[in-house]
Structure 1
């Protein structure tokens, strides 16, 4: 099949494994489309998890608000990295040639948290300017649902990509996974607000949710296209760590399919999304490696083009386990950095350094062109003006 559009039924058949020639042929076709639309290069995002405090209570998550034990049954230690530690992580990304980093934390909407994130963003942009990166590191932010005003503050402070996974676009499945106050409608509205603010928007789903069908996942891909997503981050559904696992057990939310089945379906989902969306960025999620030692490498082989090596300090990694068996929690940032080129080499892919690595899908929009500052908007804050005055020329 060489077509550029796929119907719901065609995507469903693909996910069921009915691609002519099987999964190997599917991977080859997805990689061909990837090479044509986004290039062979693997784009890098240094992933820094800076806080595991969360105001939300998603039933499947190891750092949900009501979790109190970690993967080993020990009390879950909540942490917040200091500004200094975050800036050290940014400098590490810069030194290693990562043109971008992802800042991720649990979801909070209190003033102290929002002020802190805004300030850190400004500091990173100030302190990572180089000849290769005249606007500093590219920054993807992932801190959950916020108000449009908050999104504007983060955007003005220097973040230009935002990842907010929808987890599933099916209302029935979404309601099974979240408490009543967390709704799919609110999540979609947040994605719309991000787009309206000017962010390059990323989203994604979990693959292998109990009760989820291939048709549900096919609808997810059409949802990505409908909201005009620029980047996709998705991975297999895995048991939560610590006390959150007991909540999943109580609610009948433990995975029903085997790890090999979920891995196979996740790889098909990556390939199908590549074929349907073509010029977006797609991450080879860390969670793939929880199901196979070469999970992320296989993700690259099926059409993903982004790796996110973890640069979270070693002391905090165990406390940021969203699911059981999260890889790399015993490693240091340096060890994760050393693994990255080997993963790309396994998939016979070159690595792109010293670049923001924005998706062509986003770069083709004038307002989000890679390497250019975000468009000016009315109503910017005094803090924004002060930042502009402090920024290097």
Structure 2
């Protein structure tokens, strides 16, 4: 429940309170999302920049993305690599090809590798563990991230023991009815939430996230997303604009907007100051300068593609994805130039969350909760 003081505050005051305490009520998030002005959007971005620089300086972490399979057993209504999309030219990278991507990435300065793919039954726990173990042995100073969907707790345990440090699993929406609208009936919001909880309990650095402007999204569902992230306290949060894919159920839906995405990035930074927050490829797809604007709105992570050039056009979750024809070195050089132009710097670093700042955030949240009581 909001405090009496919260209910009396305007949007600018609520943004300032979020900057100071990193915690608001659900109704306050709704108010911010519903009533903010352009000036208040800029205030949020300004506060987010201040918050980011306080915790991370002007450095931007990079992760080498390896999209190793576009096979998927699921039929998520928004996804271009859904099971029943007959237009997709399917591929799987071999263990040797994945290790070759890591070799090139390490040479280019990447110290985090992100293995992302559809929920592909071919990649059993044994195969994933074998690949991860090989990466861990070859690059002991690097972080390994997996993003391969919903698995059992036992599977997650195996990945963690093999050397996986982080796991990305977008929650997609904190509203159960909205989740069901975006997914086929065999997928469950409760299971998605259970998976996120298990990942955190095992000890992964956990990432969640959602699409901005997804079909059926409302101010209320977005407020629930922000409140969920505030309470779940993930290490990472990936958000980007929804972009329709022409072969899906949502092909004719409107794409998410640049302004809304930038505003939400800023709010996420204010909610959790040490959050690892990517400026996504989708953001760069809807606007030529989208990723730079994302960094200027509180983001501090970029994920250039290390996948072999010949498969990049086959991993199309949405239409018009950028960097599908570039070499890895070209992608990185282009990003370095863009970051330099806005006063930021790409870092050669694993890019872990600054845990020492997390305790400060938790203290503020406890104080705020005590006041609410």
Q: Does TM, scored on the shorter chain, surpass 0.5?
A: yes
1:158-201 C-alpha deviation (Å, 9 max, x unpaired): 11100000111111111111111101001000101111111010
2:258 equivalent to 1:263: yes
- Deviation of the 1:290 alpha carbon: 1.3
Residues 224/361 of structure 1: CA separation in 2 closer, same or farther (3 Å cut): farther
Residues 194/289 of structure 1: CA separation in 2 closer, same or farther (3 Å cut): same
Alignment: residue pair count = 341
1:100 is aligned to 112
Indicate if the aligned counterparts of 2:108 and 2:329 stay in contact, CA closer than 8 A.
no
The DSSP-based 3-state class of the residue aligned with 2:131 is helix
Indicate if the aligned counterparts of 1:237 and 1:255 stay in contact, CA closer than 8 A.
no
Alignment map for 1:55-94 (pairs within 5 Å): 55-69=73-87, 76-94=88-106
- Deviation of the 1:326 alpha carbon: 0.8
TM-score normalized with structure 2 length:
0.87
List gaps (5 residues or longer) in structure 1: 70-75, 129-134, 366-393
1:322 is aligned to 317
Indicate if the aligned counterparts of 1:13 and 1:19 stay in contact, CA closer than 8 A.
no
Alignment map for 1:46-57 (pairs within 5 Å): 46-57=64-75
**How many angstroms apart in 2 are the aligned matches of 1:274 and 1:156?**
31
Q: 1:127 is matched with which residue: 138, 142, 148?
A: 138
2:269 is aligned to 274
Indicate if the aligned counterparts of 1:57 and 1:179 stay in contact, CA closer than 8 A.
yes
- Deviation of the 1:8 alpha carbon: 2.5
2:83 equivalent to 1:30: no
The DSSP-based 3-state class of the residue aligned with 2:250 is helix
The DSSP-based 3-state class of the residue aligned with 2:124 is helix
**How many angstroms apart in 2 are the aligned matches of 1:316 and 1:30?**
36
2:332 equivalent to 1:337: yes
Indicate if the aligned counterparts of 2:58 and 2:343 stay in contact, CA closer than 8 A.
no
Residues 239/190 of structure 1: CA separation in 2 closer, same or farther (3 Å cut): same
Question: Please, what is the CA RMSD of the aligned residues?
Answer: 1.9
The DSSP-based 3-state class of the residue aligned with 1:192 is helix
1:39-67 C-alpha deviation (Å, 9 max, x unpaired): 32101101110000111110110001111
- Deviation of the 1:19 alpha carbon: 5.8
The DSSP-based 3-state class of the residue aligned with 1:140 is strand
The DSSP-based 3-state class of the residue aligned with 2:224 is helix
**How many angstroms apart in 1 are the aligned matches of 2:138 and 2:319?**
36
**How many angstroms apart in 1 are the aligned matches of 2:54 and 2:145?**
25
**How many angstroms apart in 1 are the aligned matches of 2:352 and 2:292?**
21
Alignment map for 1:106-121 (pairs within 5 Å): 106-109=118-121, 112-121=123-132
Q: 2:196 is matched with which residue: 191, 198, 207?
A: 191
Q: 1:237 is matched with which residue: 238, 242, 249?
A: 242
2:301 equivalent to 1:306: yes
**How many angstroms apart in 2 are the aligned matches of 1:48 and 1:333?**
11
Indicate if the aligned counterparts of 1:309 and 1:337 stay in contact, CA closer than 8 A.
yes
Residues 346/24 of structure 1: CA separation in 2 closer, same or farther (3 Å cut): farther
Indicate if the aligned counterparts of 2:274 and 2:357 stay in contact, CA closer than 8 A.
no
